[in-house]
A and B are shown apart, each in its own frame.
Chain A
């Protein structure tokens, strides 16, 4: 039973570019959340998707957007990248009927 999987594991982008990160939830999970973790900080909640719609959103600008597909997988898109967007981006999955959230290993984004 695969856990939460994310791709790519590492990537480098230039300021102003756009990036797409991908996530496949744990088997049996239908809800996907995204978090940003800057160096030395705890993860910060970006948004959550359920039934292909954004269900909750944290305090992040509209440059951060997402999508959930019918197979429950998800993408995080960040436009107009800033140096401050450099971080570990974590995907987490859960069941809408459950309580426990499981995290993937993350995608390291470096903006230069």
Chain B
């Protein structure tokens, strides 16, 4: 079973920041938080990941709470092309490379014009 809980759907106005929450209350000390998104009929796209510090890249920002039990993915200026299913995934850093990902149902983010 997925170790994360996400709202099934969210709306956001175009041009505004989209804030997608994720609960991972059972996360272990060596588990990272990963975010992927999947636009309809395409393969999942990597967005960002982090362990305990906040992270930012050209696509998004990831805010992880101090107790690491939840996180928020922020898309700073959402566009219509950001409409997708967003998956929050926790995965251990086993040191042996990338283990299989366990996807939940994700959040369907709909950007409204």
Q: Which residues of A contact B (CB under 8 A)?
A: 4, 31, 33, 35, 41-45, 47-48, 50, 56, 58, 88, 90, 92, 94-106
Contacts and interface: CB of A to CB of B under 8 A. Distances in A.
Given A33-B100, A43-B101, A56-B100, A100 B43 contact: no
Interface residues of B, number: 23
B42 A99 contact: no
A94 B97 contact: yes
A44 B103 contact: yes
A78 to B, nearest CB: 18
B36 to A, nearest CB: 8
A101 B102 contact: no
A56 B94 CA distance: 13
A56 B98 CA distance: 10
A48 to B, nearest CB: 6
B96 A96 contact: yes
30 contacts: A31-B98, A33-B98, A33-B100, A33-B101, A41-B105, A42-B2, A42-B106, A45-B102, A47-B100, A48-B99, A58-B100, A90-B43, A90-B44, A92-B98, A94-B98, A95-B98, A96-B97, A98-B98, A99-B49, A99-B93, A100-B46, A100-B98, A101-B46, A101-B101, A102-B46, A103-B44, A103-B45, A103-B46, A105-B42, A105-B43
Contacts of A33: 98, 100-101
Contacts of A56: 99-100
B105 A104 contact: no
Contacts of A95: 97-98
A92 B98 CA distance: 10
Nearest to A50: B97
Contacts of A44: 103
Given A99-B49, A101-B46, A105-B42, A42 B87 contact: yes
B46 A43 contact: no
